[in-house]
Every structure is written in structure tokens, then in C-alpha cells.
Amino acid sequence: MINFEWYRSFIEVYRVGTVSGAAQVLHLTQPAVSQHVAAL
């Protein structure tokens, strides 16, 4: 089942341009954001 948090992470990476930047905006760690995108 797809988690909507994964979509939020993907959209933020697209919007900001980097995984690290998206992690800062989402208040998550960079590995967590990477895992979300990989899960999609």
C-alpha cells in the first residue's frame, strides 16, 4: 500500500531540487526521504 508521505517527499524533492533540501523542508532526515522516494 502506498503511503501519502512518500508522495509528499517526492514532490518536495522535485520542488526543491535536492533530497537534502527536501529533508530540511519536511523536517526529516535525508535517508528517510531517500527511502520514501525509493519506495515509490
How confident is the model over 11-40, as pLDDT tens digits? 999 999 999 999 999 999 999 999 999 999
pLDDT for the residue numbered 27? 97
Question: What is the pTM assigned to this prediction?
Answer: 0.89
Report the C-alpha gap between 17 and 20 in whole angstroms: 9
Inter-residue contact 22 to 12 (CB < 8 Å): yes
Q: How many structural domains does the chain have?
A: 1
pLDDT for the residue numbered 18? 97
CA atoms within 13 A on the CB side of 33: 22
The range of the structural domain enclosing residue 29 comes to 4-39
3-state secondary structure (DSSP) of residue 29? coil
pLDDT for the residue numbered 2? 79
Inter-residue contact 13 to 22 (CB < 8 Å): yes
- Flag whether pLDDT at 1 surpasses 80: no
